[in-house]
Structure 1
């Protein structure tokens, strides 16, 4: 019974503020006569007609596939390079100037260049997501690896843990909290870059469709696309929260144990 009540309270906290904001939007826009800011009821009326008439398969699913592919690539590259930089001071000092230069370049600026080499297909869009979303994962991973407790490192060394065993049993678990933090930041960036990449020379996707609605002055449909993007980001955030809770369950238990001892 207590578990059910806790779940109800969490759900109320989770949906409370969005429900209040949607209610305010409904009330404040109900009498709107602006062409550019239609009432929320008009946007919701067009939502079903716009997105459940074939656009789910034609535009939403391709966007989600590109997003997940780019995000997975960013996590793989970020963790791999971050572990290397965090483990070796010489490599970090050697690579730092180049990495700082590359990090300063906004990923959308690279879209015209990537179009020359990768065309205008999914490869270009996924590459844009990978390039822009790698940095939070990479930097957080490197800092997490650098911050490994010396006592744990010495213990692993005394037990003869080297190579892949050391990486699996010491480095990745110790850096996991910061890696997950970087992954959460990268998820938000991936959604933004997914939309931006689809606005350039594309024929499908959420970004492409929203721009087309804007060019055709289909304002309620355009707002419905923006609303759908918000819902997609909210859903992905919920799913990532579940993943984070499972992945870092040991870490939270360890922190609670430390608090109990103190």
Structure 2
């Protein structure tokens, strides 16, 4: 008689299921299958003279033109660098603030209204204000992306710290650990929540990076989309949207792989 493994909502259960499926890469490919079928149908049944809905083959021609002009890879690099810098800064600040707010329960409660207000500010509304204060530059984009993507990391970290095992909390106090050792124990215990927050924040950071480039015309894929739109080049717009989608897929896969690797080495949380 076969034994069924119960579905567990505990962190260790979630981590165990994640380990079981990591590295296979089957699910993302299956998820892309409907899109591939749609593109094939579009190619064979679409109107080759359509201005607003050009055939996918026209997208390929358009993106080749962008690449030949030398703009494609430099723009992808610019977007990637802004994204990487932003998610690193968001992770560092979000984790630090999350630990601080989670450790001071009354302080965390008192700041809840302010956090809710800041968390719900739309990124598009922050861009004009940041452009006035910081100017239209990479620093402005970095600030906007960090402010928009920091919240999943901060809130997940705070929740993990607040939900520390009473036994672990008592042990930290009774052992009279130094500040650094106490911090390392807290980070280790909160690591699953921190990594989950980063995984949620990463695609959001990429979206806001593209949005900032689109609105301010900073160098990047977002600026290329804006230029193609202004030139009424719909095939290029569609092609660049595919590039943005592939970037998002790569980001999600990379962050998930890093999360799984770190959790494997870290082992079950206490």
Normalising by structure 1, what TM-score? 0.87
Choose from 190, 209, 212 the match for 2:227: 212
**Alpha-carbon offset, residue 140 of structure 1:** 0.5
d(CA) in 2 for partners of 1:100, 1:21: 36
SS at structure 2 position matched to 1:200: helix
Structure 1 partner of 2:93: 77
Query: Does structure 1 residue 156 correspond to structure 2 residue 172?
Result: yes
Contact 1:107–1:132 at 8 Å: present in 2 too?
A: yes
| C-alpha distance in structure 1 between counterparts of 2:73 and 2:261, whole Å | 31
Residue 64, structure 1, aligned to residue 54, structure 2: no
Residue in structure 2 matched with residue 181 of structure 1 by the alignment: 196
In structure 2, the gaps of 5 or more residues are 1-19
Please tell me whether residue 13 in structure 1 is matched to residue 10 in structure 2.
Answer: no
8 A contact 1:214–1:222 mirrored in 2? yes
* Superposition misfits of 4+ residues, deviation over 4 angstroms: none
1:76 deviates by 1.2
For residues 86-235 of structure 1, the aligned pairs below 5 Å read 86-168=102-184, 170-235=185-250
Deviation at 1:215, TM superposition (A): 1.3
Secondary structure at the residue paired with 1:37?
coil
Contact 1:43–1:224 (Cα < 8 Å) also in 2? yes
Paired residues of 1:26 and 1:41 also in contact (CA < 8 A): no
Equivalent residue pairs, number: 249
Equivalent residue of 1:254, what SS? coil
Counterpart-to-counterpart distance in 1, 2:68 and 2:199 = 29
Larger relative CO (CA 8 A, sep 6+): 1 or 2?
2
Worse overlay, 105-114 or 130-139: 105-114
Query: Partner of 1:243 in structure 2?
Result: 258
Q: Which runs of 5+ in 1 are unaligned?
A: 1-5
Aligned-pair distance for 1:246?
A: 1.2
- Could you tell me the TM-score, scaled by structure 2's length? 0.85
